[in-house]
Amino acid sequence: MDQYDKLLISLLNLHSSDVSSIHSACDDSGHLSVFVTLARKKVSCPFCGCGSCLSKGFYSRNISVPHRAFENISVFLKVPRYKCPNKHSFSDSYTMSPANSKVSYDSIMSVMELLKDPRMTFSSVASLTGLSESTIVRIFDKHCHIPHIPFPEVICIDEVYTKVNSFDAKYSCIFYDFYNRSIIDVLPDRRKNYLHHYFQSLHNSRELLNVKYVCIDMYLPYKQIALIYFKKALICVDSFHVIKHLNESLQKLRIRIMKSYSTDSIEYYLLKHWKCLLFDKTINLDNKGKFNKKLDRYINYRQLLELILSIHPDLKLAYELKEKYTVFNAICSYEDAKEKFDSIYDEFVISNLPEYYDFIVSLTNWKVEIINSFIVYKGKRINSSVAESMNATVSTLLFNTKGIRNTERRRKRIMYAVNKTGFLLK
């Protein structure tokens, strides 16, 4: 047996003592075929324990093994069969593939490793491994075992849009572990009735009492469900969604004022083309001035912003209120949050800006939850940034796969791609 044969034996997860003979052939396309005959051994009958077993010939198996150098290896295996005096027949065991499977353990591990990438589809993995798409799906269903993950002290609840859903729901609900940055569970529907059904069917509902904080967006059913099932938890509203609502209100006011001017006016130009100065905090306002053809002069971003705010007193007031709330959200502590919230809330009410009415209603309805969002847990303010970050991964997966109709398969695929755990080779 030369070094090449030993290399092949190692690749096939066998030992030299397991092999009676081995030879290989490679065709012009680079496809490698390996012919292996396993060695006979002294065995005992697995049924009666008899140690005097005789040979009963061989049976053949074909196994596919992926390999980069050859794209794919076809293994033609001859496995010894035995019979005992008590007329029991059985075959020798070997470690290349699971029982009754033509796919090797190496192939299974390669498939499951590739499926950790959210950009990979079942079809693309099939192309890379030389297996059929249906085989890839079967491997995933059989070997992906997502364990039950108990609810931790801090959870985030968010949703992701699903194109294809057998529950006739546009959004799937996802529970995130805030501290460990992982997914706890994925539900096919975020509607209140389904959430009730999910929590009522939990085998160990006492684990819900461990939850101290629940971070949500301003979707009312999440709050209602949290009050019922997370009895010892404080509910926090994600600050990002509050700021988003505030910016949307300012956006409406900007559009209202812009439409009051003709499309060829300076005011319309500033509100249309330089709106980013009202919202984008990453812009350096004190940049070096550039020549502006419309204004016919050199001007920097701060001067442009001042021109925009001088267009209408409502816009200036709305912008100042937005900035004041942004600073409050960024630097206020939990201990001072209630007092400062009441102060800034009064300013919004006194402003009497129509575009801020909905935002004021949200501040009224979600006051306690907004104040709770300033709580710091293990050095980090509670928010849904972990959810938004992992939602991007989930959205990438669902976009590339064009949705997965099977609910349980979609749940497992999402959790496997994000958590990178759940593979059992059995």
Tell me the HSE value of 119 on the side-chain side, using a 13 A CA sphere.
Answer: 0
Position 68 confidence tier, pLDDT thresholds 50, 70, 90 = very low
Q: Which of 123-132, 320-329, 406-415 has the highest mean pLDDT?
A: 320-329
| Nearest of 249, 248, 206, 254 to residue 230 by alpha carbon | 206
Position 32 confidence tier, pLDDT thresholds 50, 70, 90 = confident
| Nearest of 218, 214, 235 to residue 362 by alpha carbon | 218
96: left (phi over 0), alpha (psi -120 to 50) or beta: alpha
Position 426 confidence tier, pLDDT thresholds 50, 70, 90 = low
pLDDT in the model for residue 401: 80
pLDDT in the model for residue 342: 96
CA–CA dist 237, 14 (Å, integer) = 57
Collapsing DSSP to helix, strand or coil, 42 comes out as coil
Instruction: List, for residues 194-207, the tens digit of each pLDDT value.
Output: 999 999 988 777 88
Task: Give the pairing of strands 380-381 and 32-38.
Answer: unpaired
Percent of the chain clearing pLDDT 90 (strictly above): 59
Would you call 60 exposed, middle or buried from its count of C-beta atoms within 10 A (0-12, 13-18, 19+)? exposed
Collapsing DSSP to helix, strand or coil, 39 comes out as coil
* In the predicted structure, residue 165 carries a pLDDT above the cut 70: no
In the chain the first and final C-alpha atoms are separated, in Å, by 32
The residue whose two tokens read 């959870």 is: 155
pLDDT in the model for residue 19: 86
Answer yes or no: are the C-beta atoms of 53 and 45 closer than 8 Å: yes
Collapsing DSSP to helix, strand or coil, 261 comes out as coil
Answer yes or no: are the C-beta atoms of 196 and 202 closer than 8 Å: no
pTM of the model: 0.79
* In the predicted structure, residue 71 carries a pLDDT above the cut 60: no
Position 75 confidence tier, pLDDT thresholds 50, 70, 90 = confident
CA–CA dist 81, 274 (Å, integer) = 80
Residue 28: other Cβ atoms inside 10 A: 5
Tell me the HSE value of 199 on the side-chain side, using a 13 A CA sphere.
Answer: 22
| Higher pLDDT, residue 5 or 340 | 340
Burial profile 339-372: b = 16 or more Cβ within 10 angstroms, e = fewer: ebbeebbeebeebebebbeebbebbeebeebbbb
* In the predicted structure, residue 425 carries a pLDDT above the cut 70: no
What φ, ψ does residue 275 adopt, rounded to 5°? -65, -25
**Helix axes of 122-129 and 105-114: crossing angle, nearest 10 degrees:** 140
pLDDT in the model for residue 223: 96
Residue type for position 35: F
pLDDT in the model for residue 114: 92
- Alpha-carbon separation of residue 307 from 47, 145, 270, 302, 355 (angstroms): 91, 60, 8, 9, 21
Instruction: List, for residues 261-286, the tens digit of each pLDDT value.
Output: 999 999 999 999 999 999 999 999 99
Could you tell me the CATH superfamily of domain 154-238+387-419?
Ribonuclease H-like superfamily/Ribonuclease H (3.30.420.10)
Domain segments of the chain as ranges:
3-102, 154-238+387-419, 245-372
